[in-house]
Amino acid sequence: MYPAVSYDWRIHAASNLTCNVKEADMTAQAFWDRHAPKYAKKPIADVTAYEEKLTCVMALLRSTDRVLEIGCGTGGTARKIAPVVANVTATDLSAEMIRIARSRSGGDAAETPEFLQAEAAQDIPGQPFEVICAFSLLHLVDDIPTVLDAAFHQMKPGGRFISKTVCLKDAPRWMRAMVRVLMAARIAPHVIILSRAELTRHLIRAGFEIEQTRYFGKNRLSPFIVARKPA
């Protein structure tokens, strides 16, 4: 049995066993560049939970919204959001993720996200944004407060920050131990082991008000949190 966390450690473990990880450049960008092709092919682990999340996100969006998605990966969610809002800018640290995201885009330019390679805390053109999304990202960044401060700063008053990220401090001890082993072996990227309560405190410290916290499917380790910048 493997843990039902949103990040699929099995794929990364298997892929890294076939390459020389000791010699590889282990920066976060290099890690994600190397894993992007496999990540792009990976099916969504729980389609029902993903669709529920998407429905909740869509219900929060208005046709006039400018949306930023940070850590967008290969852009699947950004492409789904783009047709219902004014525009979507989707960024990712990994050039390879962005290359794949762009290669999958097409059709109506007005309904296509703009994909940019950028670090999560970077200032992005097109601000202020009404909505900033971060899915399966915050546990991976170097410094959560810096990323949240940047999101707060780039957001219009009254705007929303929408996050779903794994909170491994709420996981059983054996699962945390396994993740630490995978990190030490450089099979997994560096992960911040935080709890839902800590993540909530980070958001409040940055100036956000928590609007809702909920879970989708059976997963109780990745809270979906909607936080609002006061108007």
Ligand X SMILES: C[S@@+](CC[C@H](N)C(=O)[O-])C[C@H]1O[C@@H](n2cnc3c(N)ncnc32)[C@H](O)[C@@H]1O
Which spans of this chain sit near ligand X (rule: CB under 6 A)?
7, 28, 32, 70-73, 92-94, 97, 119-120, 135-137, 140-141
Q: Which of 7, 28, 3 is nearest to 186 (CA)?
A: 28
Nearer to ligand X, 32 or 216 (CB): 32
| Gap between the Cα atoms of 73 and 94, Å rounded | 8
Q: How far is the CB of 168 from ligand X (least distance, A)?
A: 13
Measured from the CB atom, the residue of 7 and 208 that comes closer to ligand X is 7
Ramachandran bin of 192, using left for φ above 0, alpha for ψ from -120 to 50, beta for the remaining angles: beta
Nearer to ligand X by Cβ, of 29 and 87: the residue is: 29
**Which residue of the chain is nearest ligand X when measured via CB?**
73
Q: Which is nearer to ligand X, 92 or 114 (CB)?
A: 92
The Cα-based distances of 78 to 96, 173, 213 in angstroms read 16, 34, 21
Nearest-CA neighbor of 109 among 82, 132, 91, 129?
Answer: 82
Tell me the closest approach of the beta carbon of residue 101 to ligand X, in angstroms.
9
Find the shortest distance in angstroms from Cβ 230 to ligand X: 26
- Please state the closest distance from residue 81 (CB atom) to ligand X, in A: 12
